[in-house]
Amino acid sequence: MEHIAYEARFINNITVYSVRVKPVNYSKVFRTGMTATITITTESKKNAMSIPNSFITEAARKK
């Protein structure tokens, strides 16, 4: 990731930040101005259980 915009834009009530990424490996068909959908993984764990947030409840101010 090269840059994340400091100012957000609001499109259809969704907060959007422009991000500039520089791929390590890229195809020759990439062109300036193209858009893409990317996934940024900041951390991962092996053998971890994943549950929906709606399954988490709060009791006595502790999660």
Sign of CA dihedral 13, 35, 23, 45: positive
> What Cα–Cα distance (Å) separates residue 21 from each residue in 6, 10, 24, 44, 46?
15, 21, 10, 20, 26
pLDDT in tens, 8-31: 999 999 999 888 888 888 788 888
What average pLDDT score do residues 42-55 get?
88
Mean pLDDT score across all residues of the chain: 85
pTM (two decimals): 0.44
What residue ranges do the domains of the chain occupy?
Answer: 1-63
